[in-house]
Chain A
Amino acid sequence: MTSTLDAQLHEFLAAQLGSVPKIADLTRVGVGRSRENWVFDLVDPATDDREPLILRRDPEGGLVDTDRGTEFAVLRALEPSGLPAPRARWLDSDGRWLGKPSLIMRREPGACDYRVVNGDRPLAERTGLARRFCELLAEVHSVDWRSTGLGAVLEDPGEQAALAELRRWETVLRQDQLEALPEVDLALAWLREHAPASPHTVLVHADFKPGNILLQGDRVSALLDWELAHLGDPLEDLGWVVQPLRHREHLIEGAWEREDLVRHYRETTGLDVDETALEWWVVFSTFKTVVMQVSGLRAFLDERSDEPYRPTRRVLLTLLTAIAERS
C-alpha cells in the first residue's frame, strides 16, 4: 500500500510543484481502516530543507463523513487569523490523484494527550492548561469569519443555529440507523421543542477537546481536526466541552469546575452565556455522540471500519437522564 501511495503522491506533488518532488519517510500513523493519516517530509532538492507534512485521506468508513474540500477551505481562510490551525498545503478533492479525497497539511510540532487535564502533571500546571484551552476556544469564537472569507465557505444559520445543527445530525442518524431507536426519537422530540434561538454567529470547531490539541510543554502548538467546523452558536462548543460525558477531559474536580470554565469563557469572550440555552447544547452534545456511535456501528457492520462502535449504555443513559431532568 505504501508503494502505491508513494507513487501517487509523487505524481500529485509533481503536478502541484511543477517539478519532481523528493519525498522522505512516508509512514502511516494510526491503524485500522477508520483512520488514514500519513506523515512524510517534502525535501527541497537545492537545500535539503525538509517541510514536515501530513496527508489525511478519507476513510472508507468512520464516525462521521465530512468534506475534505470544506476543511481545506476553512484551514486556508484561517491562515491570517492567528489561530494555531495547521497550514493547509494541497487538496485532492475528488481523490483523482491519491485514490480517495485527501488533504495535505503542514505537520505541526507537539503531542496530543487527551487526558492531560487529569493526567500526571502538577495541579497548578493542569489548571493552567485547562484555563488555556478555554481561552483557545474563546479565540476560535472571536475569529472574524466575515473578513476572513469563511462566510463564503460556510453557511450562516443565524438565530436558527440550534435547529440547523439538529437537522444536520438527524439527517446523519436517519442515513445510518439500522433499526428503530426510541431513546433517540425521544431526545429528538425534546430537542426540537426546546431549541434556543442563537444570539451570535461564530466559527464553531465542533470537536474541541484536548485530544485535538497539540502541546509543546505547556504551550499550545496547534488545534487540529477542523473537519466538522461550521458557523453557528458559540454555546455549541461550550456545551460539547462541559457535557458530562467529557468532563474529565476539560474539568478538574475541586479545582476547575464547570462554573469556573463558564465564568472564564464569559470573561474572556465578553459573550453572555444563557444557562438554559447551554443546557440544551449539553443535551444536543450527548445526542450527537449517540449519532456518531450509530454511524460507527453502521460503518463496522458494512465492513468499512474495523472499530466495533455501538450506542453504549453510558451514553444512552446520559441522554435519557438529561431529558428526564429537564422535562
Chain B
Amino acid sequence: MRNLVTALLVFCGCAAAAENTAIAIRNAKIVTVSGAVISKGTVVVRDGLIQDVGENATVPADAIVIDGEGMTVYPGLVDALSTWGMPGAASGARGGRGAAAATPVATATPAAPAARGPEDRPSTTSWIKAADEIQPGDKRIETARNAGFTTAAVWPTRGFFAGQGSLVDLLSGEKAGEMVLVPSLGQYISLARAGGGGGGMGGGFPSALMGMISYIRQIYLDAGHYQLVKDAYAKNPRGMQRPEYDRALEGVIESKRILLPANRWVEVDRMIHFAAELKQPAIYYGLREGFEDRSVKYLKDANATVLVSLKWPEKARDQDPDAEDPYRQMVIREKAPTTPAVLKKNGIKFALYSDGLDTPRDLQRAIKKAIDNGLAREDALRALTLSPAEIYGVQDRLGSIEKGKIANLVVTKGEIFDEHTKIEFVLVDGNKYVPAPEPPPAGRGGAAAPSGPNNGVRK
C-alpha cells in the first residue's frame, strides 16, 4: 500500500497526467447497492468517474492496478445532513464525551438589536449557501472521510431560516468550488434561535415556539406576496412603486425544499401539517420517536421523507446514579435506535445523518447500533448511499457503483460498519485517500499542511 501511495505521489505534480490516469481495482468484492453484489470483479475509475464495473471489466493499459483480493468496494458514504466543513458549527472536539459547553459562535458581527417582530427578520440568513461558506481545511472533512464518508449534504443550521444546504464531496484542498455537487439543496429551518438563548421575555421576537412557528408562517406569506408584487412590477413597472428588495424572502423563494425538525411524534404530526399549510416540499429531520406507531402512520399518510439522526439518545452522564428518569424517557432511549428498522419495514423513505458525530469510531458505533436494532446491513448501507442520493435527486450521479457515476468509493477489509473492519482507502472524485492508522496524537505541533498531509493524494 505504501508503495502505491508513493507511486501516485509521482503523478501529483502534473494535474493532466493524474486526470488521464485510470485506477483499476481488481479481484475485489463489489457491493454496488443499485444491483447485485459482484463477488469478484473489477472497478475502473478515470477522470473522477466510474468508467467500468463488472466481473470482466477491461483494465485499461495505462491503469494503476490495485489488487483487491480480500477487499470489498462500496459506494462512498453520504451524510444526509451534515455540518462538516461549516464554520462555527459544533466541532469535533466533543468526541464521544457528550455535549460539553456549546461551541462559541464566531462573533465577528456585533449582536443585532432584539427583533420587535417578523419585519426585523430575526435569526434569518436564508440567502446564504453552504457552498459559499464551506472551509476545505476543516479537520472534520478528513476524519469523516476516514470513516468512509465521501459526500455530505452540508447545511447552515443556525437560525429559523438558517440558509441553503449544498451537496459536497469531501475533498481536502484549497478550493471549495471543486467540492460542490449541488449548490442549493433547499432551506434549513430550525425552531431555535441562532446562538441559542433568548428564551423567555426580553430576548427579542420570537421567544416561544408558537412565536417561531408564526414567524415562519409570516415569512412564507410575505414571500408569496413579494413574488406577486415583483411579477406585477416586472410586467409593467411604469407608474408602479418598485417593490423593496428583501434578501430574506429571495433566499426563501429560491429554496426548492425545506428541512423541518421533528423528533417527537407530536412534532412529526405538527410539522407535516405545517409543511402542507406552507405548501412546501419538506424533509423532516431528527426522528427520535420515528419508531412510534403514530409517527409511522403520519409519515406514511403524508408520503414523507425523513432524515434520521445517528445521535441516539443516551442517559445523561453526570446524573445522580440513584435518580430515576421518567418511564417515557427510558422507552425512547430503548426504542430510538429501532427507528431505521421500523421505517424500512413500513416503506418510508429515509436516510441517516451524523448530527454532530464526526469521528470514525462514533459514526461506526452509531450505525452499528441501528443494525443491532433490526436494520439489515444492506439497508443501513443504502440509507447512507443511494437513499440520500435519491432524496436529493442526484441518484443519476451518486450513491451506487455504476458506470458513469462519480468515483466515490470505500474499499475495506471486512464488512463495512463492523467494529474491526479496516478501511483500506477511499476514493473521492477518483482521488485516493488512505486513512491514517490512528487519530493523530495531540501536540503534533508544527506539521506542514493543515490536515493530514500524508493521507491525501490529490490531482
Q: Do A and B come from one complex?
A: no
